[in-house]
Amino acid sequence: MHRAPSERTLRRVLAGVDGDELDRQTCRYLGGQAAIGESGEGQASERCAETAEIEDVAVHLWVGMGVERETRRARQRARQRPDPAGVLAGGAADGKALRGARHGEEHGPQLLSLLHHTRGVVLGQRRIADKTSEVPELAPLLLDALACGDIAVVTVDALHTVRETARHLSEDLGLYYVMILKENQLKALAAAMLALAGGTDAAHERAATGHTDLDKGHGRRERRTIRTAAADAIDFPHAAQVFRIVRQVAEIGGPGVSKEVAYGITNAPPDVAGPAHLGILYRVKTRPRWL
């Protein structure tokens, strides 16, 4: 007869495990599993036609088991409006507090994680020491995480938009970066605003330096307009382009339109990441495509 271990046994075993090593091996296992599933293109293509209808039905059946409505909408959008060819495989680095967790006397410890944009797999994560910043932890995180991923570009928020991180990603790791510009990089932000101020959105689209994406869902309409410009005159490590994204959201049948403007910088040249590609990389930073 098989008997499950008691809670006390599980706690005793886990207390003796190296948490960092367990986390590292778990992320590598999950990353490897995703890679294996995607590597069998021949088998996957055969299964796709046979199981597509079953998967669509299953999505509806799983709603009561925790799969949200957004999952179905994302899959429908992917079928109706597929992403343009050539989107780089990316990972989003971001820090989160673990609510409900505890480490010694500390409640809600902070973790810095690297999430694969399309697989929805955490490729690695590191705990942020008390009273320290996430920034110095990004380099060791990538050293572990990149061993089990096919990452070509790393997207980060404004906190990690620092010169050393840009240099490390470009020179030491040979990766592209997409970074958000805010007040911590005032000179680069001012230069980007100046470079992107001229012309209209229509003129940028005609010149292949602009793109507009429309979306509808959750009772609202969303319009995202991006324009790009060369970063030749901007003093930032290996910068190739700057971009501006304007996001306008209108409630269907509601009053007014909300507007958000964000600026960013990347070392990817236009032939590697055009406006449509940068718009996708920016969007999945906040809303991964696997949802």
Contact call for residues 179 and 267 (beta carbons, < 8 A): no
Question: What CA–CA distance (Å, rounded) separates 127 from 123?
Answer: 14
Q: Which range (30-34, 109-113, 123-127) has the least confidence?
A: 30-34
pLDDT at 201 over 60: yes
pLDDT at 236 over 90: yes
Give the residue extent of every domain in the chain: 14-67+89-151, 178-291
pLDDT at 117 over 70: yes
pLDDT at 178 over 50: yes
**Tell me, what's the pLDDT at 65?**
43
- Angle formed at CA 211 by CA 201 and CA 217, multiple of 5 degrees: 110
**Tell me, what's the pLDDT at 50?**
38
Q: Are strands 106-107 and 102-103 parallel, antiparallel or unpaired?
A: antiparallel
Could you report the per-residue pLDDT of 245-263, keeping only the tens digit for each?
999 888 877 777 888 999 9
This prediction has a pTM of 0.77
- Angle formed at CA 125 by CA 121 and CA 128, multiple of 5 degrees: 150
For residues 100, 101, 104 and 109, what is the CA-based torsion angle, rounded to 10 degrees? -110
pLDDT at 78 over 50: yes
Contact call for residues 138 and 165 (beta carbons, < 8 A): yes
